[in-house]
Chains A and B, each alone.
Chain A
C-alpha cells in the first residue's frame, strides 16, 4: 500500500485485487468503520421515521474506499467490473461480520430491555433476512452455481443495478434477470427451511 498508486503496474493491481477478494485484513479494517457508521445512522433515520435516500451512498463509499486503497489512478484503467466485484465482496464480508457480532451479542450479552420508544416505533418492514444465515446459504449456493452467488453478491451487497451486474460479469441482461430471480427464490427457500437442496 505504500507505493504511490500511479507507479503501480497492472500486474500489481491485479494481485492486490486478488488479495483483497481473498480477504486482506487491511482493506477490511478500512471499510468496516465507514460502513458501521453509516449503518447506524441509517438505523437512526428509520427510528426517526425518515426514509432518507442514502442507502446507496455507503455502497458507493465502499467502492471509493476500495479504489483509494488500491490506488485509484491505476484502477481507473482496470476492469471496472472486476473492481465492483471486489468491493461488493468487501461489503458482504463487512455486513455479515456485523450481523454475526450482533447475533453473538444477543446470545451472550446481558438481557437488555429493548423497548421501542413511544411515538417513534420503527416503521413496519418486511422481515429482512438475517445476513449471517443468508451468508451461509449463499456459500451453499456458490457450491452449486458460482455465477448466481456472484449476482446476489453484486446486486444485494454491492448495490449494483442489473445493467452494472451484467457488465461486471460480462453476461447478458437476461442472464442476470434469470439468475437473480432463481437465486432469490432459492435463497428464500433455504432461509425459510422449507425444502431440501436441489441435487
Chain B
C-alpha cells in the first residue's frame, strides 16, 4: 500500500492538473500549507509532466526500435571486410544488414551479410553464428545459395555469399498462383536443394517463400541455409543466428507482418515447441507448394495463435477444391509433406525429390497443351551437361546398356488394333511412396506387351509424358495409337487393388475392363491376366509361343518383384545416388531370388551407367557388369537384353568394333530393343565410326516408336550436324529449344552448328544462352558483349578453365574420369595437359575414347600427331 504521504502527493498532482494554469500556484500553496517539502515534490512532478512531451508515448518496442535505428549502420560503401569491398546497402534485416559487395581478388559480386556489433555483444553468440555459417558453407548445390566465406573484421562478423539476382518467391506468389509446371518445377528444385543439405545433416528450419530466390532462367535458390535458428528456445540463447536476407527485398515486408510470416511456415512440431528436423523442412516445402498452386496459405488465420492452432490440428482445404487440374500424384505428395506427424512424411528428402522429379519430368514433357508459359528449369541431367558430354553417351543409352537393331522389321498389321499405349497407372493409395507400384506396373506391362511382334507399343519416355492425364483418349490420339490402357493401383497393407481399362482410341469404345482385389503376393498373376486380356481385347491372335512369351517373368517371388519395381523407379532418375540406390535394391531383389534375370540385368545396367558417366573406373564397372550379364545368360541362355549389353561392352570397353557390329546384326529385330533408349548404343556406334547417315536413319526410326524421347531428339540433331545437314540440324535444335526452353543442350548444339555455318552472331547468342541455362554465369557474361569468332572461342576457353577448377575440387572427393579432364584441357587449348590426361584415360579404357573421331571437343588438338596415333590405338575404323 502506498504511504499516506504518497497518497496526498498523488491527490495534489491530480487536482493541480485540473486547475487552470494560472491558478495552479495558488492552489498548491494553499493545499500544502506548512509542508514545503511536499509542495516542492508536487511542483517538480508537475514540471516533469509538463516537460515530458511524448515520453512513454507509444509502445516500448517502438522506442527501442528507434534507438537501434538511431545508432545507424555498421558500414559504408568502400569499407572492407576481408577481401570484400562494401558497395551498397541492400537492406536491413532482423540481425544486421545486407550489402552488395565485391570480391576484389576474383572480381565477382557477392552478397555480404553483416552482424552489427551493436546488436550482438556476446562473443559466444558470434562464434555460434560463424559455426552455423560454416556448416552452411559445405553445401554446394545449384538450388542453394552458396556461402563463400565467413569471417570477422573489426568486430563485425560477416558472411559472403553468392550474388543472386532475381525475385523472391514471395514476390512471385504475390502476383497470384503459379502455372502448374512452374510450381512443380520450383518445388522440385527446392526439394533437391533440401535433399542435398539434409544428406549433409544441415536442416534449414526457416524455409518460406521469402527465403527462395527465383533467378531469371527459372532456377530456384534457397537462401539462408543453416543460418536459421535452431528452435525458438535455442534461438533465444543465440539470438543472432539469423541475418535476414529477405530484408534485402523490403517490399516483401510491407505486405504483412513478418513474424506471422515465419509462423505460417512452421511445422506442427515447431509450433508445439518440439525440435525441428529435416522433416520440418518437408512440411514447409509442402506449404510453399500449396501456396504456389493456390495463391493462398494452407493455414492462414487472422492471428498467430489461430494459425499455430490450425497448423497443429487442422487439415488444409483440399488442393483439388481450390484449383482443378492438379495431378493426383502431386496432390498426394503435398499431402504427405503436410502430414501432421513427421514420421508420416518422407523418410528421406531424397525420396521426396525423386518423386517430384518424375512428376516434373512427366509434366514438362507434356505436349504443349497448356497456355502457361513454362519457366521449367533444366533437369538435373541438363545441369550436369555443363560439361557437355556428348548427349549420346550421357543419355540413358546406358540405362540398360542394350543394343537394338538398325535392321528392325516391322510386321504388317494383321488385327484391328495394332498399336497400344499403356498410360501410366495411377497411384490410387494415399501413400506417394507407393508411386513406384503404378510406374512399375506400367513399365512391366509395356515390356510384356512389347514382346508381341504383332503389336507396336509406345515406349516409356513417351507415355510417361501423359502421366496423370484426364483424357486418355486424347492422349491416345496424340500418340497415334489404336488403343490405350489406363488403370490405377493401390496397396493397403497386404491388399492389392488394381483396375484397368482398355479403350479404342478412334471410337472411344471400352474394349475391356477389370478390377482386381487380391493379396499383394498375386501382383504378378494379376499383371499376367491384364496382359493376356489386353491381347484378347485387341483381338490379337496369339500363337502358343507368343502366349508363353507374354507370361514370362523373371521371378515368382512377390517381394523380389516389388524390390525390382522400386529399383527400376530409381534407375529412371539421373543422378549417381539414384543409380547406387537402384543397384542396392536390385541386389536385394537378387538376395530374395538369385535366379531373377531382370534384376541381374538391372545390376549390370547400374555399372554400365557409372562407367559411361565417368563416375567409376571403367575396368571395375565393366567387370562387374559383365559378371552379371554372364550370369543372366547362364540363367536364360540367349536373353536378348543380356546379349545386347555384352555387345555394347564390346565396343565401349573392348574396342572390338567388328565383333560389336556382328553382334548387333545378329540380335536383329527383337521388339524389346525397339523402345526407349535402347537404340542409343548402336547410334553411338555409328556416330563414333563417322557414319552419321546410318545413325540418323536409326534415330528417325526410334523416334517413330518413341516420339517424345528428348534424348533421341537431341541425338538426331547431333547426327544431322555431323552429317553436314546443317539446316536440318538447326531446325531440329530450334524445335527442341522451343519445347524445352530451359535445356541448355539444344543451345550448345545450335551454337556449334551456327558457327560452322558462319553465323558468328547467332552462334554467340546461342552459346551465351547455353551458358546461362547451365549456370555458367561468367561465360554468359563474357559473351554478352562478344562480337567476333575469337570472342566466342575465348569464352569457351575461359569456361573450360573454370570448369577444370571445379573438376579438380571434385576429384579430391571422389573418382573423376581422366577423360573428363582431357576434354576440358582440349577445350581450353591446353595441349600437353590434354594429352597427359588422354594417356591416363587410355590406360583405363574410358568409354568416351570411342568418340575421339566424332566428338568436337577434341577439335583444338586434333592436328597433333599424337592424336592420330591415339585414334589408331583405340582402333576406331
Contacts and interface: CB of A to CB of B under 8 A. Distances in A.
Contacts, number: 251
Report the 5 A-B pairs with minimum CB-CB distance, sorted nearest first: A105-B121, A110-B155, A44-B92, A116-B72, A46-B69
Nearest to B55: A188
A187 interface: yes
A144 B155 contact: no
Interface stretch (A12-20, A78-86, A93-101, A162-170): A93-101
Contacts of B155: 109-112
Contact of A122 (B56, B66, B308): B66
B463 to A, nearest CB: 50
A104 B60 CA distance: 19
Interface in A101-138: 101-102, 104-106, 108-118, 120-122, 125-126, 128-129, 131
10 contacts: A41-B253, A42-B62, A47-B92, A65-B304, A106-B118, A112-B154, A117-B73, A156-B56, A181-B17, A188-B52
Contacts of A121: 72
B48 interface: yes
Nearest to A40: B94
Given A29-B233, A32-B236, A92-B60, A105 B120 contact: yes
A182 B70 contact: no
A170 B246 CA distance: 43
Contacts of B273: 1, 30, 69
B138 interface: no
B20 interface: no
B37 to A, nearest CB: 9
A195 B76 CA distance: 43
Interface string B101-113: 0000000000000
B233 A95 contact: no
A68 interface: yes
Interface of A: 1, 26, 28-30, 32-48, 50, 52, 54-61, 64-65, 67-69, 72, 91-92, 95, 98-99, 101-102, 104-106, 108-118, 120-122, 125-126, 128-129, 131, 144-145, 152, 155-157, 159, 178, 181-182, 184-189, 192, 194-195, 198-199
Contacts of A39: 61, 64-65, 68
B552 interface: no
B317 interface: no
B118 A41 contact: no
Contact of A30 (B70, B233, B242, B262): B233
B2 A68 contact: no
Contacts of A145: 2, 6, 10
B632 to A, nearest CB: 57
Interface stretch (B38-46, B798-806, B810-818, B866-874): B38-46
Contacts of A110: 117, 154-155
A139 B526 CA distance: 80
Given A68-B308, A102-B121, A144-B6, A187 B232 contact: no
A131 to B, nearest CB: 6
Nearest to B303: A64
A55 B62 contact: yes
Given A44-B93, A112-B74, A112-B118, A184 B58 contact: no
A48 B92 contact: yes
B258 A41 contact: yes
A171 B618 CA distance: 86
B59 A55 contact: yes
A199 B6 CA distance: 7
Nearest to A54: B257
A44 B250 contact: yes
Interface of A is mostly: helix
A100 to B, nearest CB: 10
B758 to A, nearest CB: 52
A28 B236 contact: yes
A198 B8 CA distance: 11
B128 to A, nearest CB: 14
B851 interface: no
B53 interface: yes
B151 to A, nearest CB: 15
Given A41-B258, A131-B64, A178 B121 contact: no
A37 B156 CA distance: 19
A178 B63 contact: no
Contact of B247 (A44, A52, A198): A44
Given A60-B303, A92-B60, A117-B76, A101 B257 contact: no
Interface in B231-261: 232-233, 235-237, 239, 242, 244, 247, 250, 253-254, 257-260
A37 B239 CA distance: 9
B116 to A, nearest CB: 8
Contacts of A69: 273
A23 B803 CA distance: 57
Contacts of B739: none
Contacts of B53: 126
A47 B59 contact: no
A122 B69 contact: yes
A62 to B, nearest CB: 9
A115 B76 contact: yes
Contacts of B46: 185
Contacts of B509: none
A156 to B, nearest CB: 5
